[in-house]
Amino acid sequence: MKKTLLLSLLCMVLAMPAIAQPGYRYGGYRPRVQTVGRHGNEYIAWNRYYIGLRVGMNASHVNSDSPLLDGNSFKTGLNIGIAAGTQLSYRAPLFLETGLYYTQKGGKSGSGNEKFTYDLNYLQLPLLIKYKHFIGNQTTIQPYAGGFLAIGTDGQIKNYGTRTAFSSFDDGYFNRFDGGLKIGCGVGFNMLYLDASYDIGLANIGQDNFDDTHSGCFTINVGVNF
């Protein structure tokens, strides 16, 4: 099911620029939603608000005071969702962006027969401040920073030594809530979008109050804005 969902979204992402009907010289958007900024001796237009589709890959890990939960390698996973942004000021290309993502995080620890993997899957809500810097008629560099909140939906802890599996959130290992800081940078070309970011988990996601356990996650996304 996850493979079907990923393939469907990839088809939507690839098809969106082809089916879009440009109505404005720069960016292909209608003038009624445009503001105009100056780039050198040329005026450039951008949308005051946008909605975007995103799909990408995570490389995540878990750091913990507990030897059982402390990870020593990264775990890959899916990141998929919708972004929405609005311009904060007519005088500068400064935007507030949020959205909703299904993101697969977790980590790995141990070696040999003492190998563990942690699947920690979340619904995640980011809240970001983004600046769009034009480097051409249709190309922007978009650094951003902010925070995120996440609620765990599902996941398993797999013990390869005993060949047993447990619920990550229901069997006394991980809390469902996570939150922290998010920093990154995107590149936009017309409707196409690419970004890389890092989540710094600040919440203690371990259920043991005496051992601090935190998540970290590097993400690469591709998508479209419209």
pLDDT at 20: 39
Bridge partners (DSSP) of residue 8 are: none
Helix (H, G, I), strand (E, B) or coil at 175: coil
Contact indicator for 82, 99 with CB cutoff of 8 Å: yes
- For the chain, counts of helices (H) and of strands (E): 1, 13
Q: pLDDT tens digits, residue range 16-27?
A: 444 333 333 333
**Pick from 98, 84, 66: which is nearest to 206 by CA?**
66
Q: Which helix (H) or strand (E) holds 199?
A: strand 192-201
- The confidence score (pLDDT) of residue 33 equals 45
Q: Which residues of 33-70 are buried (b: 16+ CB within 10 A; e: fewer)?
A: ebeeeeeeeeebbbbeebebbbbbebbbbbebeeebbb
2-225: CATH topology:
Porin (2.40.160)
φ and ψ at 170, to 5 degrees? -100, -10
> What pTM was computed for the model?
0.80
For the chain, give every domain's residue range: 2-225
pLDDT, tens digit, for every residue of 150-194? Answer: 999 999 999 888 889 999 999 888 999 999 999 999 999 999 999
